[in-house]
Structure 1
Amino acid sequence: MSFCNNSVPQPLIFVLAGIPSLESSHGWFSVPFFLVFVITVIGNLTILCIIRVENSLHEPMFLFLAMLSVADLSLVSATVPHMLGIFWGVDAKEISFNACLMQMFFIPFFYVIESGILLAMAFDRFVAIWKPLRYTTILANNMLVKMALAILARALVVLIPAPILAKSLESFQTHTIAYSYCAYMAVVQIACGDISNHIVYGLMVIVASMGFDLFFIILSYGLRLHTVFLIPSWEARGKAISTCGSHLCVIALFYSPVVFSVLAQSLGFHMTPHLQIIIDNLYFLVPPMVNPLIYGVRTKQMRERVLQILHYLGD
């Protein structure tokens, strides 16, 4: 229960605080945020262009990578520009209630989609090792379309209730949200009345998306390692494991902040609000920037194409 002595009715406008208690440093925070945004856009557009023009990359692994780049671009586009507006003080702190509802849907929507794509990529690598001779048959184009639609449908079903439930909140302690964007739980925490169903829903979203995906990713890698170590040749084992290296790095970067946050709350470790917000922002900043760098360096076909482009630009 969240009780209020002086409640305010559902406001037409919310005010986003940015990073509470660090308002004087917003200008400094804007520098890495802006650089991350620029690097993310350039890196992911490069990945998409290379996959588009290189026919040899029109295979499941790289098509999933293209989906991941689209999700990354969508995620940073939905978050970073508005954050920069807050940090630069260009009257971006005020956000209408309806625009706030859109943010609390679309930001986690793209995040859940990205989690689903990582699960699909884990399945792709599992099939490549478990059934190499049937790889192209199992992951035919119609299967890729079905997987993409399933990822999209799961995200819609899981997150459509968020703005609907938030719209039902009638009174609030304040119209200021101590966050840099309209996060669902940040809005719920300033609401008055019984918010237990909102908390349960928030936990269900985590379990039904990131929790589900991470469990099956770990399971797929366990089965994959079991299959790899049955291969008699050490050289073949090393090659099979190396093909999964890029994906493992991306998974570690993507899920680490979530796992850290959940473990910290489960163990009773309470972080200061500004530290919690900074860590939450890492969900949406670091993976989209690093993903194209990891795949560009560790994937041979991608690395060779990038080097060709750099050589061409150098001439």
Structure 2
Amino acid sequence: MKKLAIVAVVVVAAIGGVSYANHALTQEVKVEVDRQLALMSQQMGVTASYEDISASVLGQSVEISNMQITGFDQQPVANIASIEVAGYEVDKIAPRTELSIKNFTFSEHFLAQLPPDANNKLAAASYDLHTLMNYDEKSGDSDIDFALNAKNIVGLNFNLGLAKSTALMNASLALSKMQQQLGSQQPTLEQQLQQQTLLMEALAELEPRSIEIALNNEGEFKALVEQTLEKQGMTLEQMQQMVNMQLQQAPVSEALSEAIKNFTQGLSSLTVSASLPEGQTMTEINQQIFTLMGQPEELAEFINLKAKGE
């Protein structure tokens, strides 16, 4: 019993310590978030306020709840149920960083200002955004995932695999520090040139390895397409016929052409991916692609293009 009591005391003390650390970290993070939001207000003319903020030491994460965005005219623009950031570090690129935005919706006031030909179904949707980056400092490899979901309508997923991305990560960190130092001040012409040079040099070393883009019907995508076409005076059948005619003349591979045709018929999903040659920079790959323009089958083979539509 005595040993159990000691264990219980240790556990309670540990939990209490973590809770205190979380509280202290939350206060520190709140100061920084408020500072960043104030800078955004100065630079963009919009104001963002939130109901609550919390930070976790163990999870290395920060969550902001119930954010309201107000325009320069003091009218509401959008609401966000929650924003969660995990893994980000101030002085280095973390091996795993993540951003999740849940239930982003435009305000009724904002929707009322849209032009008559705007797609109200898409504008009035609730959006979830999730980004994830895994970075291996030793190898320089990185993977970036991006997912945007208009609830019950359509989902878009994007994945990018990179090699020799260390220079790009360092450049990103350096640019972030420059921006922090500038605060609300605009960079000088010399500083802008320095930033552009830093970024261009980093991109020159980058080796893209893979890319995949996927579009998925989440329920009402067909209705969205039909609504958009109706505003343009077209039917779904007319659009399908037009796409088929354009594909007959377009310089695309047979596999990609077939995938697009199937997608316009089913409006269920479309996935396009490519696996790029190893050991070649982005500039070298672009040069190869340029020389193969007008040769769709050879180009598809060079980038290992795969496509599927339903």
Q: Normalised by the size of structure 1, how large is the TM-score?
A: 0.23
Structure (1/2) with the larger helix percentage: 1
Structure (1/2) with the larger strand percentage: 2
Larger radius of gyration: 2
Q: Normalised by the size of structure 2, how large is the TM-score?
A: 0.24
Q: Relative contact order (C-alpha < 8 Å, sep 6+): which is higher?
A: 1
